[in-house]
Amino acid sequence: MPEAPKISLKPTDYNLVEKNKKTLHFIEDVTANADKVQERVLGEILTRNANVEYLVKHGLKGHNDRETFKKVIPVSTYEDIQQEINRIANGDTSKILCSRPISEFLTSSGTSGGERKLMPTIEEELERRSLLYSLLMPVMSQFVPGLDKGKGMYFLFIKSEAKTPGGLLARPVLTSYYKSSHFKERPYDPYTNYTSPNETILCPDSYQSMYSQLLCGLYQNKEVLRVGAVFASGFIRAIRFLEKHWTLLCNDIRSGTMNPQITDPYVREAVMKILKPDPMLADFIEAECSKDSWQGIITRLWPNTKYVDVIVTGTMSQYIPILDYYSNNLPLVCTMYASSECYFGVNLNPLCKPSEVSYTLIPTMCYFEFLPVHRNNGVTNSPNVPKALTEKEQQELVDLVDVKLGHEYELVVTTYSGLYRYRVGDVLRVAGFKNKAPQFNFICRKNVVLSIDSDKTDEVELQNAVKNAVNHLMPFDATISEYTSYADTKTIPGHYVLFWELSLNGSTPIPPSVFEDCCLTIEESLNSVYRQGRVSDKSIGPLEIKIVEPGTFDKLMDYAISLGASINQYKTPRCVKFAPIVELMNSRVVSSYFSPKCPKWVPGHKKWNNGD
Ligand code: AMP
């Protein structure tokens, strides 16, 4: 991920060594004094927000110490603060959650009631995010020297934004960041030297944005030292785009002009400042791209690349094999862990294997707490809707410096923007410590069964979607006796697959169009992040239903039991991931159907006029 520099200096007086040293010293300092820093952070948050409605309502009475805070303020979920959020969205500017003015809403990829969660934020949070970004390259430069001597080719995009009824902007955190002066007007820093001009990143048309970023990246291929995107899925999308459009890109490089499909005047102007005719480079790219195999295409086209900077932890790990293939096993580097609620931490050992990535939480970002998780070995998923915690569970939460090695916890944060003891929904495992600060493996997002890009579909959503689709089968006196699902990332873009075993009572055969209607109904029923991925980002392919032979789910049960599942407690998993099980299901498919078109999606919240 790109980083924002903190210190404004001109190229001549830029002292990289000094700046890196200062940053690493900062990390040493805050991790060595993690507990003290945490106490200070909580004290600051509570002092400045002493009079906000939420804290007053719960009776904190201006206290700013940990003990009273933990006794008085409950652990919360989005649903608990939904009323407050709605009031802010509808234009109530009183100090509801935070004493500082809410500058905008960040729309999370986590959903509630099928819509993106809205996270209120304040202006100064941009500085905290910038600070986290500014840690990344000094850390990286300890392991890979010379990164200041070339450029980074990062595929970065903005997404659509909407306005709440009260007039606040609602947009994803990265869109907010790229549009901010922290990114757009970043001062000189050899580490924020990207092949993509700002105008190409800020172009709202995703085709033109991707095309122009690839064009600039290809044109400057020799200068590129690192490549990346935020998530692995985004980087693979760029490679896929190149597969489709390399002829056009080569033509533009050969002639030093941009084809007329690129109409955005800012993009054209910015790219034309860089692009000059280069027939030799065009021939080289053409020769590489027209070879049968695209194995190692990244190192072939960008020969000086040292690593691929993309998140491959969590559900993104499904993309590791394809990235290895395209990059000829270059290191895959996961640099940071962040969310709309708050940016959390960085990976201090970025060249480690993806399976060993751990993130050190930076104690200045927010006040962290940890709810112990006792998972039933993760085979099936626990209930979806988080239940309110009992008194005892509330007392089980531990502080940052008190987590235990090897234990798993759910992350709970108290932020400067007004979330108090808020459950983020991520499960983390303690992998080690940097001084006093714990380092966490990212284990999973709670309850998510399917994910291709930033979509997160849980079991209840899937269940409801299937229930809606089954209505199409009723006229045929058919129903589904069992189902499960699978995120198929072999296709690009990946897509959801549902395995259905039918129970047929009628004699009329079911025409394919009915199953296609079922596919579309499921897609229409899924949350807005999924539908946006299908419609706007094109990062998710059409949903597929695979009808399996009768008896397939019995075979699935037999297999699970042979692996040690208990017969009494066996429940059909609503999602399968384990390769032999996917193979078993696939070997019994009798027919398959795809969604014939995209589901409906509009920017904004379904309740807002501008989103309708
Ligand atoms: P959003 O609120 O849409 O920005 O999504 C934030 C969520 O993305 C986090 O709560 C995690 O579930 C996931 N996420 C962010 N960074 C990482 C990472 N480095 N590894 C795995 N998952 C991540």
Which atom of ligand 1 is nearest to 336's Cα? 19
Ligand 1 pocket check for 339: Cβ under 6 Å:
yes
Q: How far, rounded to the nearest angstrom, does the alpha carbon of residue 153 sit from its chain's CA centroid?
A: 19
Position 609 scores a pLDDT of: 58
Q: Give the whole-angstrom CA distance, residue 258 versus residue 491.
A: 30
* Short-list 192, 194, 199, CA closest to 271: 199
Lowest mean pLDDT among 62-71, 279-288, 392-401, 403-412: 392-401
For a substitution probing ligand 1, which of 117, 341, 412, 426 has the most ligand atoms within 8 Å of its CB? Answer: 426
pLDDT at 611 over 70: no
Position 607 scores a pLDDT of: 80
φ and ψ of 23, to 5 deg: -65, -45
* SS3 per-residue string spanning 28-59: HHHHHCHHHHHHHHHHHHHHHCCCCHHHHHCC
Task: Tell me how far the alpha carbon of residue 338 lies from the centroid of ligand 1, in angstroms.
Answer: 6
pLDDT at 407 over 50: yes
Nearest CA owner, ligand 1 atom 17? 337
Question: For residue 596, what is the DSSP state?
Answer: S
Question: For residue 195, what is the DSSP state?
Answer: S
Q: Give the whole-angstrom CA distance, residue 134 versus residue 26.
A: 11
Nearest CA owner, ligand 1 atom 22? 314
Q: Give the whole-angstrom CA distance, residue 548 versus residue 203.
A: 44
The pLDDT tens digits for 509-557 are 999 999 999 999 999 999 999 999 999 989 999 999 999 999 999 999 9
> 173-199: string of b/e by CB count within 10 Å (b at 16+)?
bbbbbbbbebbeebeebbbbbbbbbbb
Contact 262, 249 (CB under 8 A): no
Task: Please state, for a pLDDT cut of 70, what percent of the chain lies above it.
Answer: 95
Position 386 scores a pLDDT of: 56
The pLDDT tens digits for 24-75 are 999 999 999 999 999 999 999 999 999 999 999 999 999 999 999 999 999 9
Ligand 1 pocket check for 176: Cβ under 6 Å:
no
- Please tell me whether the overall predicted TM-score, pTM, comes out greater than 0.85 for this model: yes
Nearest CA owner, ligand 1 atom 20? 313
For a substitution probing ligand 1, which of 348, 445, 527 has the most ligand atoms within 8 Å of its CB? Answer: 445
Tell me the average pLDDT of the chain: 94
pLDDT at 11 over 60: no
* SS3 per-residue string spanning 466-535: HHHHHHHHHHHCEEEEEEEEEEECCCCCCEEEEEEEEEECCCCCCCHHHHHHHHHHHHHHCCHHHHHHHH
Position 374 scores a pLDDT of: 81
Task: Tell me how far the alpha carbon of residue 493 lies from the centroid of ligand 1, in angstroms.
Answer: 20
φ and ψ of 585, to 5 deg: -65, -45
**Residue 48: CB partners within 8 Å, gap ≥ 6?**
99, 100
φ and ψ of 568, to 5 deg: -65, -40
Position 28 scores a pLDDT of: 98
* Short-list 466, 506, 489, CA closest to 579: 489
For a substitution probing ligand 1, which of 112, 311, 319, 411 has the most ligand atoms within 8 Å of its CB? Answer: 311
Position 382 scores a pLDDT of: 44
User: pLDDT band for position 378 (50/70/90)?
Assistant: very low
> 392-409: string of b/e by CB count within 10 Å (b at 16+)?
eebeebbbbbebeeeebb
Ligand 1 pocket check for 87: Cβ under 6 Å:
no
pLDDT at 473 over 70: yes
Position 383 scores a pLDDT of: 40
Q: Which two tokens stand for residue 4?
A: 């924002």
Position 209 scores a pLDDT of: 97
